[in-house]
Amino acid sequence: MPGKRASEDVRREQILRAAFEVAVRDGIGGLTIRAVAAEAELSHALVLFHFQRKERLVHDLLDWLIATTPVLRAPLEVADLPHAMDRLDAVLRQEMERLAREPRHTRLFLEFWAMGARDDAIRVRISAELERYRRAFHAIMEALLRAEPAAFPGATADGLAALAVSWIHGCAVQAMIDPEHFDTGEYLAAVRGIVGQRG
Amino acid sequence: MPGKRASEDVRREQILRAAFEVAVRDGIGGLTIRAVAAEAELSHALVLFHFQRKERLVHDLLDWLIATTPVLRAPLEVADLPHAMDRLDAVLRQEMERLAREPRHTRLFLEFWAMGARDDAIRVRISAELERYRRAFHAIMEALLRAEPAAFPGATADGLAALAVSWIHGCAVQAMIDPEHFDTGEYLAAVRGIVGQRG
DNA sequence: GAGTGTATTGACCAACCGGTAAATTCAAGC
DNA sequence: GCTTGAATTTACCGGTTGGTCAATACACTC
């Protein structure tokens, strides 16, 4: 006996949320159409009706994850800070706090990341997102170098951006396996000990 | 008809190598006893005979991976460098080159890392390895702070070590998805632009 | 060279997987 | 109220999985 009906948008969103829960709980490798259906309290045929193939469900889940994870999406309040170094500091802090606040998103994203080494379609999406991330930091670093040219002799905006991205990703990896032992404050203090004293 | 015989050690090693190949090719989620057996050209029952359960095979694969990946295992030639900052520089370069040289090990390790969030036994192993890694950097950073106390005012060995570990892990993540675009030289130049000028 | 233990195999099983197809139910149009 | 089309479900299929078990072939001892 069929359950209540729903519009396509609503149902897709419901299924994607369920897929997210299952993927976080059992890993992408353990993601199963039937498990998603059970999580959403639907029949597994309905999941296939809305996503046709499992592959498409997984890809759409990645798109959903990217769309709902606010990485560097809201640097509005940061843009008003007068000093470029303060802006960098604020963005780094903001990103680290996001990682600490949403460990499940971070973990799943990293799992997709590893999967991208095997799946072309996923690598394309991940690479595009990485590029977007890098460009955002590139702009910050360029402004920083322009504002204080003497601060980092010999460094390029490219290199500094790559460095910042690696920093954040390293934090993500560390916070993922050891969330309570990972101290955001101490970490940022070390960063400022190396970088910030020049700002 | 059974194939040639082999001692338990030899066969276990052979199976673990095959498991490594399969895990790298299809991911840990796609690791299958039958796929491992096919890769090793054995019957799948023999794999179970030597490892009892799939879970044990996976755990033993992680142990094998940790044992055969020379992370910070050979810092002998580095130890002779007179300046602490040179030692840090050499170790960072050494680790980054290892990541570039063995992307498959790195990728698989990261996949286990993500899996550790779901599997206690794996998290314990990963955490122990992370702790070992952090301690190695801690020793280097302590020597650095002792040798040049004025270089990093306000920074602790703990904070610097956590920073270095995040750095390396960030590089690993980035090199994994984008190996050819990841330029070790430019990256290290950026690091030296920020840190090295004081050495 | 008979006997013994163990490494190795093929056959089998229940459970689960992705996917298909037909039946059923619902909401809206006329 | 009847038709129509889409949402939903049940039933089913072929294939794969982890795991068991009995049969078998090998290396070794005596």
Distance between CA B114 and CA A25 in Å, rounded? 11
From the centroid of its chain, how far is CA A33? 24
Tell me how far the alpha carbon of residue A109 is from its chain's centroid: 6
Which residues does chain B have within 8 Å of residue A128's beta carbon, measured at their own beta carbons? none
Neighbour count for residue A43 (Cβ, 10 Å): 14
State yes or no: pLDDT of A199 exceeds 70: no
Report if residue B199 sits inside a domain. no
> What does the pLDDT look like over B60-74, one tens digit per residue?
999 999 999 877 765
- pTM for the complete prediction? 0.90
Q: Is B107 in contact with A117 (Cβ distance < 8 A)?
A: yes
Q: Which of B161, B142, B122 is nearest to B23 (CA)?
A: B122
CA gap B12, A95 in Å, rounded: 44
Question: CB distance B169–A168 less than 8 Å?
Answer: no
At residue B4, the 3 state secondary structure works out as coil
What is the separation, in whole angstroms, between the first and last Cα of chain B?
67
Q: Are residues B84 and B8 in the same domain?
A: no
Burial code (b: 16+ CB inside 10 Å, e: under 16) for A20-42 equals bebbbeebbbebbbebbbebbeb
pLDDT surpasses 80 at B16: yes
Q: Rounded distance, CA A24 to CA A22, Å?
A: 5
Chain B residues lying within 8 Å of A158, measured CB to CB: 186
| CATH code, domain carrying B165 | 1.10.357
Q: What's the number of domains chain A is made of? A: 2
Residues B91 and B191 sit within 8 Å (Cβ to Cβ): no
Residues A60 and A74 in one domain: no
Domain boundary among B64, B82, B110: B64
Query: Do B158 and B83 sit in the same domain of this protein?
Result: yes
Please name which of A24, A18, A15 lies closest in space to residue A48, comparing C-alpha atoms.
A15
Show the domain range for A124: 69-194
Q: Which of residues 59-118 of B touch A (CB under 8 A)?
A: 107, 110-111, 113-118
Residue type, A140: I
Structure tokens that stand for A12 in this block: 């897709």
State pLDDT tens for residues B111-153. 999 999 999 999 999 999 999 999 999 998 898 889 888 777 7
The verdict on A39 and A119 lying in the same domain is: no
Specify the higher pLDDT residue, B126 or B155: B126
